[in-house]
Amino acid sequence: MFSSNQSNRSHSFDTNEEDPIYEATVHSIKTLTPSIKQFYLSINDPLKRFHFEPGMFLDFYLSPTITSVITGFSICNSPANYSNTNLIELVIRETDYPPTEYMFNNCQLNEKINVKHGGEFFYQSSTTNNDSILLICAGIGANPIVSILRHIVDLYASDNIQIIPHRIVFFYTAATKKDLVFRDSI
């Protein structure tokens, strides 16, 4: 448990030129279910250095007047989609965790939020197409897996057959049917 003046990810404050903190702007907010919202963020990155791998997350550095807790939200879209739209897609379930509660109940359009990409779990394309991939996810935990799946679909569309998995098995479940928020887009 973390107090309001503790960070659960203090190592995330470490930054350098290769891994800077960016200012993001809340571009859109859509309610998907009573307890799940979709956010699109644009990254203020005039040098076009921001990048992420499929399955990564964004660390959020909210104003200290909101919370000093840093939290990560998994990215849902693929790197190619980000390159085409300059938007990051996040899907967030309401909880009483301070950063999540703020995003769900108080975040406004055009609000500025400091973010940094992160995560050591991400999909690395194979050098051969002989690999098989098993993707298993549940509920809102589908976010990074959906990013990976969308990335693989982008690889298929690019005709880069040398790095496409031979076979993909995808299991997606949730407590209720309405919580399967990605079912129409995957």
Do residues 118 and 48 touch, judged by C-beta distance below 8 A? no
Q: What number of CA atoms fall less than 13 Å from residue 43's CA on the CB side?
A: 26
Q: Three-state DSSP class for 25?
A: strand
**CA-based R_g, the chain, Å:** 17
DSSP 128: S
CATH architecture of the domain with residue range 10-118: Beta Barrel (2.40)
* pLDDT tens digits, one per residue of 53-107: 999 999 999 988 888 888 899 999 999 999 999 999 999 999 999 999 999 999 9
Strands 22-33 and 87-93: unpaired
Any idea where the domains of the chain sit in the sequence?
10-118, 132-179
Please tell me the distance from the alpha carbon of residue 135 to that of residue 20, in angstroms, as a whole number: 30
* pLDDT tens digits, one per residue of 119-145: 888 888 766 666 788 999 999 999 999
Please tell me the distance from the alpha carbon of residue 125 to that of residue 156, in angstroms, as a whole number: 12
Lowest mean pLDDT of 20-29, 95-104, 109-118, 156-165, name the range.
Answer: 156-165
